[in-house]
Amino acid sequence: MLDFLIGNDLLSSIIAFGLVLIPAIFIHELGHFLAAKAVGITVLEFGIGFPPKARRLFMWGETEFTLNWLPIGGFVRPLGEDMVRPLSAEEIERDKEKLQEQLAEQKHQPNKNEQRYISEREELLARGITEMRSVNEVAPLPRIFFMVAGALANFLSAWALFVIIGLIGVDQIAGIRAQIIFQPEGVTVLEEAGISVGDIIEKVNGQTFNSIHEFYLLANESESDTLTLSVVSIETNETYEVTLNRDNPLFQLNSYVRVLSVEENSPGHLSGLLPDDLVYAINGEPITDEANPVATLQQAAVDYAGQPLKLTVLRGAEGEREPVEITVIPREEVRPNQGRIGIGIWDEYHTPEDIILAETTPLITTAPLPLGDAISFGFQRIGETVGLIFEIPSRLVNQSITLEEARPVSVVGISQIGGQFLQESIENDQPSVILNFIAVISVALGITNLLPIPALDGGRILFVLIEIIRGKPITPEREGLIHLAGMIFLLSIGVLIILYDVLNPLTLPQ
């Protein structure tokens, strides 16, 4: 239905702006509004969009709901603050008088098209709503709750989206995959089976497996004389099936530990171990039938720490290997990023013809989660997203990401990326793609607003904390000047980032 968006970056970005940013900002302000109601702060205006005002929508209690010309979310204007700064006592009293005049005017001059709201207002007036409270007239802790509620609303909405994603379906590991990485010259087993070196076996008779040893057991314990393998071509990435007799050499596997690297001056280096050695026996006991030969060697290194451990390895070119006896003394004390023997290793499995199989990337399937698991998944994803955001400075320092990858983005940049995620979501028929992006942006918006920068919620919270410590608030005039300076700074930076996003559009990594 939305296929017309695929390839249309401009239209996709505009729609993504409406899907991603407007709801996130609106929910943020709704959190402030509901918190204000909860702690008794009078809200003068709930604006949809940013001024200039287009029209008044309706009045609810003391709150004027307005539609504004700039479609970038919304705002809440509580009594005691304007769009930037806290107000003086005189300004608050002026707003109170103006609000009372508005309420009286609406009460005595009803509009037949708004009769339902008028009835509600009259009922609220009868309950004493005209006793109004500004932001600074509530205690510090309720005030902090009001200020932090926008971010909490963003986190809650992101959690709900992640739960929905969990219920739709998330990627899960269904098992491991076995890749054929080598076949000696002159051996034709693979060609006869219709398989190529590099191809990846995913299933046996439709069943996944969690280790290559389990692949071996599935094959050898089958009651059928033939076995059907689901294989992914390394060249085309397409899945095909081959049917083989159960006595095929591919199902006669021996387990080994291949030495990938040897740390200099380590016990393995001093004992004479070399890269490409194949460990096939430990203290004279073959490990060729072990389900997890690497784990077996690692446990032996623990058991024989500080003592001689005899390893039998096969050394030489494939097909021409000779057994070599090695005695190694594993370390008793292990420092970070060091093993007891000091070698890099992996599991490897060989057929009698020395065709080599090794575990590769896991088999991933998409499946819906039960409700309880989806709820847990929501909390998990919130934690992961927050963690990734806070890791950005340290990752910049250790150069695991570049400055370009960590660049701040404006509403333009978010819309650009959102448009690309929207197209991907439509093209692959996966709504979770765009939903995940919306949730991540909602979390980022919540965190950004809590930063202790003047004009942001975090900056206002900082002034309340200072008030708690001092025992008295900073004068509204001084606080207002600081917030105004913060607003000018943020707007200036925002304009520069918008220009950068326009000149250097963001694109998803390929």
The per-residue pLDDT for range 297-324, each reduced to its tens digit, is 999 999 999 999 999 999 988 778 899 9
Q: How far is CA 118 from the centre of its chain?
A: 46
Name the band, by pLDDT with cuts 50, 70 and 90, for residue 87.
low
- What single letter denotes the amino acid at residue 255? S
Name the band, by pLDDT with cuts 50, 70 and 90, for residue 117.
very low
* Whole-number pLDDT of residue 113: 39
Residue 280: CA atoms inside 13 Å, Cβ hemisphere, count?
A: 16
On the question of pLDDT at 112 being above 60, the answer is: no
Q: What is the mean pLDDT of residues 455-483?
A: 89
Q: What is the pTM of this model?
A: 0.73
On the question of pLDDT at 333 being above 80, the answer is: yes
DSSP code for 239? E
Q: What is the mean pLDDT of residues 118-131?
A: 44
Q: Which are the contacts of 423, defined by CB distance < 8 A and separation ≥ 6?
A: 5, 6, 7, 9, 12
Name the band, by pLDDT with cuts 50, 70 and 90, for residue 158.
very high
- What single letter denotes the amino acid at residue 200? I
Are 185 and 448 contacting, i.e. CB atoms less than 8 angstroms apart? no
Q: Which residue has better confidence, 304 or 224? A: 304
CA atoms of 39 and 31, how far apart (whole Å): 12
Name the band, by pLDDT with cuts 50, 70 and 90, for residue 61.
confident
* Whole-number pLDDT of residue 125: 47
Name the band, by pLDDT with cuts 50, 70 and 90, for residue 275.
very high
Share of the chain above pLDDT 70, in %: 88
The per-residue pLDDT for range 13-59, each reduced to its tens digit, is 888 888 898 899 899 999 999 999 999 888 888 998 888 889 999 88
* Whole-number pLDDT of residue 106: 52
* Whole-number pLDDT of residue 164: 97
CA atoms of 217 and 245, how far apart (whole Å): 15
* Whole-number pLDDT of residue 315: 94
Alpha-helical runs (H) found in 71-208: 89-108, 115-126, 140-168, 189-193
Neighbours of 113 (CB within 10 A): 8
Alpha-helical runs (H) found in 140-250: 140-168, 189-193, 212-220
Q: What is the mean pLDDT of residues 402-430?
A: 87
* Whole-number pLDDT of residue 94: 67
CA atoms of 199 and 201, how far apart (whole Å): 7
Q: Which are the contacts of 264, defined by CB distance < 8 A and separation ≥ 6?
A: none
| Token pair recorded at residue 329 | 């003394």
* Whole-number pLDDT of residue 92: 61
Least confident of 2-6, 390-394, 488-492: 2-6
* Whole-number pLDDT of residue 64: 86
Neighbours of 106 (CB within 10 A): 19
Closest CA to 426 of 100, 130, 1, 127: 1
Mean pLDDT taken over the chain: 86
Helix (H), strand (E) at residue 468:
helix 457-470
Whether omega before 473 lies within 30 degrees of 0, making that bond cis, reads: no
Helix (H), strand (E) at residue 175:
strand 170-182
CA atoms of 103 and 125, how far apart (whole Å): 9
Q: What is the CA radius of gyration of the chain?
A: 33
Domains of the chain: residue spans and CATH: 3-166+380-503 (no CATH), 171-252 (2.30.42.10), 254-350 (2.30.42.10)
Q: Which are the contacts of 402, defined by CB distance < 8 A and separation ≥ 6?
A: none
- What single letter denotes the amino acid at residue 314? L
